[in-house]
Chains A and B, each alone.
Chain A
Amino acid sequence: MAQTRRDFLKMTAALSAASFVGVQLPLQEQQLAHAKDAEAWHRGTCRLCGVGCRLELGMKDGVPFALRGVADARTNYGFLCMKGMHFWQCLGHKERLKKPLYRAKKSDPFKEISWDKALDIAASQFADAVKKNGPNSVAYYGSGQCLTEETYLFQKIMRGGLQTNNVDGNPRLCMASAVGGYLGSFGADEPIGSYADLEKAHCFFIIGSNTAEAHPVLFRRIMRRKLDNPEVKVINADPRVSQTSRIADKHLQFKPGTDLSLLNAMANVIIEEKLHDQAFLTNYVAFKQGKEGQDASFEEYAKFVAPYTPEAAAKTCGGKITAEDIRQVARWFATSKGTMSLWCMGINQRKQGVWANNLIHNLHILTGQLLKEGADSFSLTGQPNACGGVREAGGLCHILPGHRPVEKEKMRNQVEEAWGVPLGRIPAEPGMHTMSMFTGINEGKIKAIWINCTSPAQSLPNCNLYNKGLATDDCFTICTDIFKTRTTEFANLILPAAFHFEKTGVYGCTERRQQLTRKAVKAPGEAKPEVWIAREWAKRLAAKLNDPVIAQCIKPFEGLEEDFALPQAIWDEYTQKLTKGRDNDLRGVSYAVLARMADGVQWPAPTEEFALTGGTAKKFVKGIDPMADSESKNDLPYQFYGPAHEDRKLWIWLRPQADPSEIPDAEYPFYLSTGRIIDHWHTMSMTGRIPELLRANPHAFVEINPKDAEKLGIKPGDMIEITSRRGTNVLPAKVYEGPIEGTVFAYWHDQEANRMINKVTKDDYDPSAKEPEFKICAVKIKRISGPKPLTPFIVS
């Protein structure tokens, strides 16, 4: 007989009460699934988020049953979050895509077809589009979740084979501003330091990141550092009080979009109180201003930040922080033995995303809080291979493998020579970035697109607008994925892909660490690794376009079995031919080396001997980074050899406060911000299919400040309509002191049509990075009813 909820409450009261008064519960032997019972534990890297936790997949009788952390991995020291613990359930999930599915028209039902036919259709559609409309009528839209080998091979076929740079990926939506910030400030992409700095830091400046939920395992390390060393300061700057704030000494709650003012005010305090590091500035720093990067001086910089007094910034920030708060955190930042800044989408997903990144770097350069233990300006990454695959291996429209700008002929020629294709084969013009790519679909410019391992129909800002184009039959749409998604609803051809641990390849996480995951499980049905799919597609493309250069692109990989030899050959080509002398030199990071390392290798690692030490924990430091020694130009201990700054200096930028592109007004009086919840990842196509994770947060909700709720007569659980100039959602209200007054906050994972918050968000983007401003837009909110029972929704 079913028990009532009241019975359930009684029982849980009893059981829990018993446990805390010391009653010993019966220990049942069948509950003890010791490690020794498992047939095998297969080592790999977590499939979710950008931390790169090392873990092991447990298998019994050939069936996955668990995941556990690897204790000697320097990423996570054995710890996993709930997503890392549970994603094994995706491996044998009953809803996995197992056969290619096709429909000529998007209004038709899908039919199962053979791989041979599917690849033939994919090749015909791309070849026909190229013949009729030119190479730039086709596009590849990839993902920070693809293995490096997959991203590399697809972009090679697109650039070297089809002669288009229309190669981009979802890291454009999350990391492009960080790329622009690092290149602009340090002359080289990706962080200088490592997670190892977390245990050495004396001050944490966490801004625009709810680390506790988006990067739980790194948050645990920060938390541990703070708890073990109460004198360590934690500053959390965010318009929303979050779980991360629980460990903060000071939470700076500012009005959305005013943080540039806050950062400049901190610089002002540092200069006013002479807390800057003059020797560091003299030896290593240049000052820049304007769009073209005209030279400036320290005095001009000091004069520039002078109007950003703590009093003025406190007022700009909305009045929830005081001038003294700003002075206090500036002093903590400048005077600690090691300050580490951490940020994520709150800084990157902004109209001024690159500027915001620059201003954080400014504080580190100004104070010399870099290059020493516990000090770094450290951008957190959202996806497991946004860095390793997309940023480093050519997954963005303007960057070739090895951090090579596409517009530089010398860089293109290096790649063309490595590939054995004619010089001039790769177009000089950067391709379409994500937002222009999907605009191009709306405008009929893109006739065929391959969407790999991501769901733009849900994850693009203002997605209603872009889904109109995807819904038409004007653009032939191919999706490679493991489950159906909101995007496969717009597909003509769905190709079933092998999942993590069902194929072999490398992920490169936030701290420049490359880690190998080998195939341990057979993919279900006819699902195949993307490297096989890409190679077989290219083979047909070469025949249909009668183009031997396309055949040349895959010639080194012909005949190799797809589970190990093929990805290894692709990895070897990329690392050996295209990273030599580049700042991400990976020549020492062979599969053989990676197989020997508990936690992979950090680049640069030019030789196997050096890679076997773990690689470079801190870039640019002689004695730690071999390239700092080999590229040294003087006797100074730090050598900034990054490709973007010919003067080999760090640059402090004079960047002003600038408003977001949309601010509240009488019609749309609230700010909307969005973010991630700990139990779900991205568009929940994976986490929504895992009962533990789904039930923890079965649907999205909107957080409303109690003062705003009171004014509008909104009570917890009430159904709220949120409307922007672009779209509407209906979500239940969570009333609590999270978002600053005048701001509402919603989660973006929910697939249900009325709860997809990207129908509401704004698609204006940073003019330099082209990363959209998901984090800030103006909305109006209205209570439409009391609480209603809601059920989760997953596309099936």
Chain B
Amino acid sequence: MKRNITGIAHGLLAVVLIALYPCLVWSGPAKSSKQVHPELSKQEKYIDCAQCHTEATPQVHQEWFASLHGLAMVKCYQCHGTFETFRVTPTRQDCASCHENMMKKCPQDKACWQCHIPHTFKTKTTKK
């Protein structure tokens, strides 16, 4: 029951924050993405990303789990880094660790996520 309440609370929170999101994001000067992730205690940093995000962002977690990355166990930190290197938006170089060949084939002036939907990794023209 507690889990359900928490889930509903996060759902509502997500809706509110989505509405506020542009203000939150654009309210200050551009900063390094390293500053986006909140600070945690040393012990909290030993909690696997997915353990919190299953609760905090269940839809994202579910999308990832059902995706090719989820099936192949490509984990959060492989794209987003760990606390010292955390980036909300993975760079092209992060993708290039495995998809270097696509760096030449894909548009050079776009970030990967502009064509590949984050966490499902389907291309925006892909139907399946």
When A32-B93, A78-B99 are in contact, do A17 and B39 touch as well, CB less than 8 Å?
A: no
Residues of chain B contacted by A20 (CB below 8 angstroms)? 59-60, 63, 117-119
Pick the residue among B39, B82, B89 that contacts A2 (CB under 8 A). B39
Residues of chain A contacted by B119 (CB below 8 angstroms)? 16, 19-20
Question: When the two chains form their complex, are residues A9 and B93 in contact, meaning their CB atoms are under 8 A apart?
Answer: no
CB distance from A733 to the nearest CB of B (A): 15
Q: Is A18 engaged at the interface, CB distance under 8 Å to the other chain?
A: yes
- Residue of A at shortest CB range from B21? A18
**A3 CA / B111 CA spacing, docked (Å):** 30
- Residue of A at shortest CB range from B13? A13
Q: Is A630 engaged at the interface, CB distance under 8 Å to the other chain?
A: no
**A25 CA / B36 CA spacing, docked (Å):** 12
Selected interface stretch from A304-312, A456-464, A691-699 = A691-699
Residues of chain A contacted by B18 (CB below 8 angstroms)? 14, 17-18, 21, 23
Residues of chain B contacted by A25 (CB below 8 angstroms)? 25, 88-89, 113
CB-CB contacts of A762-796 with B at 8 A, as 1s and 0s? Answer: 00000000000000000000000000011110000
- Residue of A at shortest CB range from B114? A24
Residues of chain B contacted by A34 (CB below 8 angstroms)? 92-93
Question: When the two chains form their complex, are residues A14 and B21 in contact, meaning their CB atoms are under 8 A apart?
Answer: yes
Question: When the two chains form their complex, are residues B48 and A695 in contact, meaning their CB atoms are under 8 A apart?
Answer: yes
Pick the residue among A9, A27, A31 that contacts B55 (CB under 8 A). A9
Question: When the two chains form their complex, are residues A213 and B73 in contact, meaning their CB atoms are under 8 A apart?
Answer: yes
Residues of chain B contacted by A9 (CB below 8 angstroms)? 10, 52, 55-56
* Interface set, chain A 1-52, CB cutoff 8 A to B: 2-5, 7-21, 23-28, 30-35
Question: When the two chains form their complex, are residues A8 and B71 in contact, meaning their CB atoms are under 8 A apart?
Answer: no
Q: Is A246 engaged at the interface, CB distance under 8 Å to the other chain?
A: yes
CB distance from A229 to the nearest CB of B (A): 15
Residues of chain B contacted by A17 (CB below 8 angstroms)? 14-15, 17-18, 21, 57, 59-60
Most B C-beta atoms less than 10 A away, residue of A26, A213, A227, A243: A26
Question: When the two chains form their complex, are residues A67 and B97 in contact, meaning their CB atoms are under 8 A apart?
Answer: yes
Question: When the two chains form their complex, are residues A31 and B73 in contact, meaning their CB atoms are under 8 A apart?
Answer: no
CB distance from B127 to the nearest CB of A (A): 15
CB-CB contacts of B83-122 with A at 8 A, as 1s and 0s? Answer: 1110111011100111111010000000101100111000
CB-CB contacts of A699-724 with B at 8 A, as 1s and 0s? Answer: 10000000000000000000000000
Question: When the two chains form their complex, are residues A33 and B91 in contact, meaning their CB atoms are under 8 A apart?
Answer: yes
Pick the residue among A2, A19, A68 that contacts B97 (CB under 8 A). A68
Q: Is B5 engaged at the interface, CB distance under 8 Å to the other chain?
A: no
Q: Is A406 engaged at the interface, CB distance under 8 Å to the other chain?
A: no
Pick the residue among A3, A79, A699 that contacts B98 (CB under 8 A). A79
**A67 CA / B96 CA spacing, docked (Å):** 9
When A12-B56, A13-B57, A71-B101 are in contact, do A692 and B77 touch as well, CB less than 8 Å?
A: yes
Question: When the two chains form their complex, are residues B44 and A243 in contact, meaning their CB atoms are under 8 A apart?
Answer: no
Residues of chain B contacted by A70 (CB below 8 angstroms)? 100
**A20 CA / B45 CA spacing, docked (Å):** 25
Residues of chain B contacted by A68 (CB below 8 angstroms)? 96-98, 100
Question: When the two chains form their complex, are residues A35 and B103 in contact, meaning their CB atoms are under 8 A apart?
Answer: yes
**A30 CA / B91 CA spacing, docked (Å):** 9
* Interface set, chain B 57-87, CB cutoff 8 A to A: 57, 59-60, 63, 68, 71-75, 77-78, 81-85, 87
When A8-B40, A20-B63, A20-B119 are in contact, do A697 and B14 touch as well, CB less than 8 Å?
A: no
- Residue of B at shortest CB range from A72? B101
Residues of chain A contacted by B63 (CB below 8 angstroms)? 20
Q: Is A241 engaged at the interface, CB distance under 8 Å to the other chain?
A: no
Question: When the two chains form their complex, are residues A14 and B24 in contact, meaning their CB atoms are under 8 A apart?
Answer: yes
Question: When the two chains form their complex, are residues B97 and A69 in contact, meaning their CB atoms are under 8 A apart?
Answer: yes
Pick the residue among A71, A216, A691 that contacts B84 (CB under 8 A). A691
Residues of chain B contacted by A243 (CB below 8 angstroms)? 73
Question: When the two chains form their complex, are residues A7 and B38 in contact, meaning their CB atoms are under 8 A apart?
Answer: yes
Question: When the two chains form their complex, are residues B53 and A16 in contact, meaning their CB atoms are under 8 A apart?
Answer: yes
Question: When the two chains form their complex, are residues A13 and B56 in contact, meaning their CB atoms are under 8 A apart?
Answer: yes
Question: When the two chains form their complex, are residues B10 and A13 in contact, meaning their CB atoms are under 8 A apart?
Answer: yes
**A7 CA / B55 CA spacing, docked (Å):** 13
Q: List 7 A-B contacts (CB under 8 A).
A: A8-B52, A14-B13, A17-B21, A19-B113, A34-B93, A66-B97, A696-B77
Sample of 17 further A-B pairs with CB below 8 A, known A20-B59, A82-B75, A223-B71: A3-B40, A8-B40, A11-B38, A14-B13, A20-B60, A20-B63, A20-B118, A23-B22, A26-B25, A67-B97, A78-B101, A80-B98, A85-B98, A227-B68, A695-B48, A696-B48, A789-B43
Give the 6 A-B CB pairs with smallest separation, nearest first. Answer: A3-B38, A14-B17, A71-B101, A16-B57, A9-B56, A17-B14
